[in-house]
Amino acid sequence: MSTAAERRAAESGAGEAGAWLDMYRAMTTIRLFEEHVNDLYRGAKMPGLAHLYIGEEAVAVGVCSALRRDDYITSTHRGHGHCLAKGADVARMFAELLGKEAGYCKGKGGSMHIADHANGNLGANAIVGGSTGIATGAAFSAKQRGTDQVAVCFFGDGALGQGILYEVMNMASLWSLPVVYVCENNLYNEYTHYLEVTAGAILDRPRAFGIHAVEVDGQDVRAVHAAAEELVARARRGDGPSFLLCNTYRQHGHHVGDVDRAYYRSKAEEQEWQGARDPIALLGGWLVDQGVADAETLAALETAARDEIERGLEFALAAPFPEPGEVTDDVFA
Amino acid sequence: MSTAAERRAAESGAGEAGAWLDMYRAMTTIRLFEEHVNDLYRGAKMPGLAHLYIGEEAVAVGVCSALRRDDYITSTHRGHGHCLAKGADVARMFAELLGKEAGYCKGKGGSMHIADHANGNLGANAIVGGSTGIATGAAFSAKQRGTDQVAVCFFGDGALGQGILYEVMNMASLWSLPVVYVCENNLYNEYTHYLEVTAGAILDRPRAFGIHAVEVDGQDVRAVHAAAEELVARARRGDGPSFLLCNTYRQHGHHVGDVDRAYYRSKAEEQEWQGARDPIALLGGWLVDQGVADAETLAALETAARDEIERGLEFALAAPFPEPGEVTDDVFA
Amino acid sequence: MSSPSAVRELTIAQAVYEGFAEELRRDERVFVIGEDVAEAGTPFKVLSGLVEEFGPQRIVDSPISEAGIAGLGVGAAMTGLRPVVDIMFGDFLTLVMDQLANQAAKSHYMSGGKLTVPLVLRTTLGATRRSAAQHSQSLQAWVAHVPGLKVVLPSTPYDAKGLLKSAIRDDNPVVFIEDKMDWRVTGPVPEGEYTVPLGVADVKRIGEDVTLVGTSSMVRVCLEAAELLAADGISAEVVDPRTLAPLDEDTLVRSAEKTGRAIVVDEGHRSYGVTAELASVIAERAFYHLDAPVRRLGALDVPVPFSPPLEDQTVPTAERVAEAARELCRRS
Amino acid sequence: MSSPSAVRELTIAQAVYEGFAEELRRDERVFVIGEDVAEAGTPFKVLSGLVEEFGPQRIVDSPISEAGIAGLGVGAAMTGLRPVVDIMFGDFLTLVMDQLANQAAKSHYMSGGKLTVPLVLRTTLGATRRSAAQHSQSLQAWVAHVPGLKVVLPSTPYDAKGLLKSAIRDDNPVVFIEDKMDWRVTGPVPEGEYTVPLGVADVKRIGEDVTLVGTSSMVRVCLEAAELLAADGISAEVVDPRTLAPLDEDTLVRSAEKTGRAIVVDEGHRSYGVTAELASVIAERAFYHLDAPVRRLGALDVPVPFSPPLEDQTVPTAERVAEAARELCRRS
Ligand SMILES: Cc1ncc(C[n+]2csc(CCOP(=O)(O)OP(=O)(O)O)c2C)c(N)n1
Ligand SMILES: Cc1ncc(C[n+]2csc(CCOP(=O)(O)OP(=O)(O)O)c2C)c(N)n1
Ligand SMILES: [Mg+2]
Ligand SMILES: [Mg+2]
C-alpha cells in the first residue's frame, strides 16, 4: 500500500514535484478551512468554541503525507488539521462542527472529538494527553495482529505535563511498538509559555525511555515530511517507537474566543511567525524558487481549495440537525 | 538543628566512629524488627500481610541519618525500615502492626500506613508512587514557609511506572524544591524483574527533567550516607531537587506470604545478596577491619537491639485493641 | 468603611473572587495552584486580579498535571499550608481521583488523626455549553461517595462566597464545585465578613404542596419550575442542600414530610447519581408522610452530545421539573 | 468428551480461569494485560497457568502503570483486539478513571457509533482482608454512574464464568469486578459451553415476606440472613442483580411488589453508593406496594480501618441484614 505522498505524486503524474504541490494544496485547504471556522464563530453560526490549527499546517501535512490510509493517528483538541491531512472530507467536517447529522460523528462529537475511522483517525481528544494511550494501543494492536500499520500520536507541548505519556512511552519502548509520538510545540499551554512549565530539554524525555527522538522546524513541511518518512519507515520495519519534536506556532488564539493575547505574548512574536515563518508562504516561496510552480499555479491551487471549502460549508450549513430521538443512540454498540 | 548522625556522634562522644556504630545499631534494629514481624505472621499473630525491608536497611539508615528530625519523609508499602530509621519507637510500631490502640495510628493504618508525624514521617503509602506528590508538596511547603526543611521521597523501582512521578519531578525541578527522590531498586516489582518493565536507563529519567541524579551501592551504608548528606545539603541550601538511585535487594519475599519464589528468581541470586552483599555484614566487617569495633561490641549492640525489640513486642502483644466505637472517629478533623 | 450590613448585588464570579481575596489576605498559608490561574485568572477569568495582589508565589501557574498538583496539594496541606488546587473542568476529576480518594480523604483516618489535609479542590460542573462529552460532566456523585471528603455545591453569590470561606478554613479536604454556566448570575452579598457553614441546607422558597430539592445549577431550575407551578396553583418549596457531604438530611426530610411529595434534581447523570442518595434518604425517612413516590431528575444517561438540539435534551429544565411536579400532585 | 449437562463443583477462581481459557482459545483477538498476570498469574494466582497455554504475547506482564495499560487497552480495542486489562485492586480504579470514563465509555457515542471499544477491565472489591484503607474498597458506584460502561458483579462460580464470557464477547467496555474474599467459594458449573447474559438479575432464593437485594459478596450475606430469618418464620427472597449496568429493574421491582418489603445490601460505602440507586428504583416503582421503607445496608462511611475489631464493623453481616429484616417485618 502506498503513502499519501506517493499516491498523490503518482496521480499528479509529476513525481516529487507533484507531491510538494499536493502538500501546498493540503496546507492551503487547512488554512482556509480554519479561517472559515473562525468566521463561523465570529458570525455566531457555530456552537461552542474551536482551536484553530492556523500556522501549524506543515506538521499535520508533513507527517500524514508519510502515512498510508490504513495507518492510525490520534489527535487533539486542535485537531482539524490532523483530520484533514489524514484524508477527511471538508463538507462532513464542517457538518460535524455545526452539530449536523451529516457530520463524521452525526454531530455528537463536534470540533474536539472528530473521528474518521475509515481514514485511520481514531479521534480528536479533549483531554490533554488523553490519546497517548490510545495511539500506543493501536500500535500494540498492529503488531499483535501482524500488520505493518503504524500509529502516529499527535499532542501539544502541554501534554508533556501528563504522566500517562511517560507510562505509555515506557511500554512502547519495552515492546518496540510501531508508534511515532509527534509533539507539536507551539510554545504555549493555553496562556502559559511552555518554558514556565517544562523543565529540562524536551528530547531528553523520550530518550530517557530509550526512544529515538528527533527535532525539526515545524514550519518547514519538507523537513517535517522527511523526518516523518524516516520515523514511519523505522516503525514499519519493526524498529520501534520514535518521537518527533516539531517547533511550530499557532497564529491565532488558544481558541477562537482568545482575541486579547497581549498579556501572555507579544504582537512582535505573532508577527514574526505569521510572516517570515508562515509554513505556507515558506513552501510557496520554495516552489517558485525551484521553478516547480509559478504564482498562477499556486493561485489556482488556492482557488480550487477555496471552492472545495465553500461548497463544503454550504452543504454543512444547509444540512439538517440530528433527530432529537438520536440523543439516546450510540451509547452502547 | 543537627542531623541524626551528628546528634548521635555527639552523644556517643566517639565522633564519626560513633555515628557508624549507631548506624550499625539502627540497621540491626530494623533487621530484628522485621524478623519478628515475619514470625508474627508465621505464627498467625499478626492480621494481614507485611512487606519486609530485610536486605535494604542501608538505604533507610544511610539516608535518614543525613536528615534532621524536622525533615520530612514519605514512605511505601515496604516502610518499616524508613519509619524506624526516622526515629519511630519499636513498641508503638509493633502495636500498629497488630492493630492496637497504642499504635502510631491507633491501629487504623497498619503496616502499609504507619505515619509518625512527630518525626516528620508523613506516612507509608499502599499506592505505588502514591506519595511522590505528597513529598513534593512537603518540599513546596518548606520553601513557601521559608524553613530550610528537606523532604525525602522513598519509592521502589516499580514506582518508575507511575506517571505522577514525572509530573511532580517536573514541578520540583521548575521550582527548585528541596526534595530528594530516593529510588530503592531492589530488582523486582512484586514478581516481575524491573528490566522487563523498565525501558532505558533509570538515571536518565530524572535527568530528563533537569534533576541532579546519582547512583550508589544501596548495600553500602557509608556510600548511601555520603551521597544523602551531599544531596540533602544541596536541597537545604536551596539548590533544588535530586534523585538518588540505590541498588539493593529484598532478601525475603515480596510480602511475608511470598515463600515459593523459584518461578521468578533464583536461589543463587538470593544467596549472593543474603551473603556477600548483606548490608549489615558489610558494615560490621568494615567496622572490625577499621578497628572501630570488635566482635563483642557488635554483639553487644545486637543484644541491646534485641532487648529493645522484645520489650516492644511484649508491650504490643499485651496492648488492647481500640474500642469498637472508635471506628467512626478520625474520619474528619 | 462599609457597615457589615451594607449589601451589594454581585455575580457569583465576583463573590467567589472576593472569597478568595479575603481568605488570601486573612491567612498567608492559603495559596492557589492550577493551570493558567495567574495571569490568565483561569480560562473563565474568575480569578483575574489575584496574582496582581498576591503574587506568583501564592497564585501559582502549574503544568498540565492534574494528578501532580493534587498530590502536591496534599503534601503541602499536611505540612502547614492551605492549598486550593484549581481543576479547570470537573471532567478532569478523573485524573485526580487517586490523590483525592486514596490520599487526601484517607490520610487523617489512616494516621489515627495525626495528619490533617486542609485542602480545597476547586472545580466546575455543567453542560449546555456546547463543550461536548469531555468538558460537560457533573461528577459530584463520585466525590460525595468518598468518606473523608466534604463536597460543596453553591448556587447563589451569597452562598458561593460564604461556603468558599468555610471550605478554605476547614481542616479537611473539601471539593468545591462551581457551575460553569452561572458565574454571571447575580444576587445580594453583604459588604462585611461572613461565612456559611458546611452541612446546612437552605430553603430557597417556601411552599406547601411539593418539595423540589435542587443542587447547584438545578436550584435555579427548581425556582423557575416553582414559578410555573405557582401559575397552576401549586405551591412548591425549593430546598438547596448546599453541601452533599455533610448532608443536612433533616431539612430535606422535614420539607418532604410537610409537603408529602418530593422531586430531587441534580445535573449529574441520573443513574447511581446524587439524586439516588437524596431520594432514598427522603423515601426512607419520610416514608409514612409521602403521598407519592419521590421523583428523580438528572442528566440523561448518555455522554453529553455536542449537537445543540441533542445536548439540550440531556439536562433537566424548569418545564420538565414542573411537569413532573404536576404529575405527582395529580397522584394519590 | 463431556456432555454439556455434566456438572462439576468449582470454585469461583476455577470458574473465572475456565472463562478466560475458553475465550482465549475461542478468539485470538482476546489478550490479557496487567501487573504480574503472566508467570505469577496475578498475586491472587487466579490466572496461574494461562501464560503456559497462551504465551507472553497474550498474557502480558505490564509495568505498574494502571492509566497506561487502560489507555493501551482502549486503543487496542478500537483497532481490532479484545483486551482484558487487569487492575489488581479495585482501589486502583482511581488511576484509570480518565481512560475508563472519558475515553473508553464515550468513544462509541462521541464518534457517532464509528469507534467501538470491546474492552474488559477486570478488578476486585471487598474488605475484611486486613488490607487497610487503600486495598479494601468497593468502588462499583463510580463506574456504574458512567454512561457507556457495563458493570458486572458475579456472586457464584456459574455466574462468574458465564458473565465473564459475555463480558469478553461484548462490544462495549465492561468493568468486571470479583470479590477478593470469595474466590474459594464453590458451586456447580456445567462442563459445556454457556454464557450468562448481561442485564438479567437472578433470584437466588424465593421468599414471600421480604426481598433482600444483594450484590457480589453481599449475595452470600443475604442468603445467610435468609437462613436466620427462616428460623424466625420470616420467608426472605434474595435477588442478585448480577449487573449494575444494565440494571434489570423489573426483577427487583417485581420481587419488592410481591413481598412489600425490601432491603438493599452492597459492600460499597453507603452514602451515594449502589444501594441508593437500587433502593430509589424500588421505592419509586414499587411505591404503592411497599408496607415499609426500603432499607439500605452498605459499608460504613469511613475509610476501611486496619484493626480487625474495627474493620469487622464496617461491612454488612448476615446478622445485621437479618436484624434489619426483622425490624422491617415488625413495621407497617
Ligand atoms: C487533562 C486536561 N487538562 C486541562 C485541559 C484544558 N486545556 C485544554 S487545551 C489546554 C492547553 C494544551 O496545550 P498544548 O498541549 O500545548 O496544546 P495546544 O493548545 O498548544 O495546541 C488545556 C490546559 C484539558 N483539556 N485536559
Ligand atoms: C498503584 C498500585 N498498583 C499496584 C499495586 C500493587 N503492588 C503493591 S507493591 C507492588 C510492587 C511494587 O514494586 P516496587 O515499587 O519496586 O517496590 P518493592 O515492593 O520492590 O519494594 C505492586 C505492584 C499498588 N499497591 N499500587
Ligand atoms: Mg501548545
Ligand atoms: Mg522493587
By C-alpha distance, which of A209, C56, C70, C54 is closest to B136? C70
A11 vs D21, higher pLDDT: D21
* Residue A38 pLDDT: 98
Q: What is the DSSP letter of A118?
A: G
Could you tell me which chains touch chain B, where touching means 3 or more CB pairs under 8 A? A, C, D
- Summarised one tens digit per residue, pLDDT across range C280-303 is 999 999 999 999 999 999 999 999
Assess whether pLDDT exceeds 60 at residue C1.
no
- φ and ψ of C240, to 5 deg: -115, 110
Spatial contact of D296 and D322, defined as CB atoms under 8 Å apart: no
Please name the residue that has the C-alpha cell 525539526: A216
Q: Is A245 in a helix, a strand, or coil?
A: strand
- Within 10 angstroms of residue A196's Cβ, the number of other Cβ atoms is 15
Spatial contact of A327 and C315, defined as CB atoms under 8 Å apart: no
Spatial contact of A107 and D112, defined as CB atoms under 8 Å apart: yes
> Quick check: CB of B80 below 6 Å from ligand 2?
no
Q: State the pTM of this model.
A: 0.98
Assess whether pLDDT exceeds 80 at residue B91.
yes
How would you label C144-164 residue by residue, b for 16+ Cβ within 10 Å and e otherwise? bbbbbbbbbbbbbbbbbbbbb
Please name the residue that has the C-alpha cell 400532585: C329
Strands C210-214 vs C174-179: parallel, antiparallel or unpaired: unpaired
Looking at the CA of residue A78, tell me the nearest atom of ligand 1.
Answer: 21
Residues of A in contact with D57 (CB under 8 A): 144
Cell of A53: 490549527
Q: Cis omega (within 30 of 0) on the bond before D246?
A: yes
Q: What is the DSSP letter of D101?
A: I
Residue B116 CA to residue A93 CA, distance in Å, equals 58
How would you label A136-153 residue by residue, b for 16+ Cβ within 10 Å and e otherwise? bbbbbbbbbeeeebbbbb
Cell of C244: 452533599
Residue from the list C62, C130, C313 with its beta carbon closest to the beta carbon of A327 = C313
How would you label C212-236 residue by residue, b for 16+ Cβ within 10 Å and e otherwise? bbbbbbbbbbbbbbbebbeeeebeb
In chain D, % of residues over pLDDT 90: 97
- For residues B262-278, give the mean pLDDT: 97
* Residue C30 pLDDT: 98
Q: Is D63 in a helix, a strand, or coil?
A: coil
- Within 10 angstroms of residue B203's Cβ, the number of other Cβ atoms is 16
Residues of B in contact with A165 (CB under 8 A): 163
By C-alpha distance, which of D52, D122, D19, D75 is closest to A144? D75
Assess whether pLDDT exceeds 80 at residue A45.
yes
By C-alpha distance, which of C96, C50, C108 is closest to C69? C96
* Residue A5 pLDDT: 65
In chain B, % of residues over pLDDT 90: 95
Assess whether pLDDT exceeds 70 at residue A60.
yes
Give the pLDDT band (50/70/90) at residue D2.
very low
Assess whether pLDDT exceeds 80 at residue C331.
no
Give the pLDDT band (50/70/90) at residue A1.
low
* Residue A16 pLDDT: 83
In chain C, % of residues over pLDDT 70: 98
The DSSP H or E segment spanning A293 is none
- Summarised one tens digit per residue, pLDDT across range A62-103 is 999 999 999 999 999 999 999 999 999 999 999 999 999 999
> Quick check: CB of D87 below 6 Å from ligand 2?
no
Q: Identify the active-site residue in D18, D66, D267, D311.
A: D66
- φ and ψ of D72, to 5 deg: -60, -40
Q: Cis omega (within 30 of 0) on the bond before C246?
A: yes
Q: Are the Cβ atoms of C145 and D245 closer than 8 angstroms?
A: no
- For residues B94-112, give the mean pLDDT: 98
- Within 10 angstroms of residue B201's Cβ, the number of other Cβ atoms is 15
- Summarised one tens digit per residue, pLDDT across range D171-185 is 999 999 999 999 999
Assess whether pLDDT exceeds 60 at residue B13.
no
**Is position D135 annotated as part of the catalytic site?**
yes
Q: Distance of CA C83 to CAs A243, B43, C30, C79, C218, Å?
A: 36, 45, 6, 11, 29
The answer to whether the Cα torsion of B186, B188, B193, B194 is positive or negative is: negative
Residue D142 CA to residue D302 CA, distance in Å, equals 17
The DSSP H or E segment spanning B282 is helix B279-289
Give the pLDDT band (50/70/90) at residue C2.
very low
Q: What is the mean pLDDT of chain D?
A: 97
- For residues A251-274, give the mean pLDDT: 97
Give the pLDDT band (50/70/90) at residue B47.
very high
Residue A230: is it exposed, middle or buried by C-beta count within 10 angstroms (0-12/13-18/19+)? middle
Residue B242 CA to residue B180 CA, distance in Å, equals 5
* Residue D1 pLDDT: 40
- Summarised one tens digit per residue, pLDDT across range D249-282 is 999 999 999 999 999 999 999 999 999 999 999 9
Residue C112 CA to residue A157 CA, distance in Å, equals 42
Q: Distance of CA B53 to CAs A98, B192, C28, C187, D324, Å?
A: 60, 18, 40, 60, 46
B261 touches chain D (CB under 8 A): no
By C-alpha distance, which of D92, D42, D88 is closest to D67? D92
Q: What is the mean pLDDT of chain B?
A: 96
Spatial contact of C284 and D279, defined as CB atoms under 8 Å apart: yes
Residue A168 CA to residue D282 CA, distance in Å, equals 44
Give the pLDDT band (50/70/90) at residue A10.
low
Q: Distance of CA D131 to CAs B94, B111, B321, D138, Å?
A: 16, 9, 17, 13
Residues of B in contact with C96 (CB under 8 A): none
Cell of B230: 551531599
* Residue B2 pLDDT: 72
Nearest C-alpha in C relative to B132: C71
Assess whether pLDDT exceeds 90 at residue D126.
yes
Assess whether pLDDT exceeds 70 at residue B14.
no
Q: Identify the active-site residue in C18, C35, C108, C135.
A: C135
Q: Is A12 in a helix, a strand, or coil?
A: helix
Assess whether pLDDT exceeds 80 at residue D236.
yes
The answer to whether the Cα torsion of B116, B121, B126, B130 is positive or negative is: positive
Give the pLDDT band (50/70/90) at residue B37.
very high
Dist. CA B189 → ligand 2 center (Å) = 6
DSSP string, B68-131: -TTSEEE--SS-HHHHHHTT--HHHHHHHHTT-TTSTTTTSS-GGG--BGGGTB----SSTTTT
Q: What is the mean pLDDT of chain A?
A: 96
* Residue B10 pLDDT: 63
Assess whether pLDDT exceeds 80 at residue C112.
yes
What's chain D's length in residues? 332
Spatial contact of B64 and B75, defined as CB atoms under 8 Å apart: no
Residue C300 CA to residue C271 CA, distance in Å, equals 9
Q: Identify the active-site residue in C66, C178, C267, C311.
A: C66
- Summarised one tens digit per residue, pLDDT across range C244-289 is 999 999 999 999 999 999 999 999 999 999 999 999 999 999 999 9
Q: Are the Cβ atoms of C108 and B140 closer than 8 angstroms?
A: no
Residue A223 CA to residue D90 CA, distance in Å, equals 47
Strands C82-86 vs C30-34: parallel, antiparallel or unpaired: parallel
- Within 10 angstroms of residue B132's Cβ, the number of other Cβ atoms is 32
* Residue A3 pLDDT: 75
Cell of B291: 578497628
> Quick check: CB of A156 below 6 Å from ligand 1?
yes
Spatial contact of D199 and D145, defined as CB atoms under 8 Å apart: no
* Residue D332 pLDDT: 55
Residue C5 CA to residue C10 CA, distance in Å, equals 15
CA A39 to chain centre: 21
**Is position C108 annotated as part of the catalytic site?**
no
Alpha helices in D57-183 (DSSP H): 66-78, 97, 105-110, 140-144, 157-169
Dist. CA B132 → ligand 3 center (Å) = 26
Give the pLDDT band (50/70/90) at residue D38.
very high
Could you tell me which chains touch chain D, where touching means 3 or more CB pairs under 8 A? A, B, C
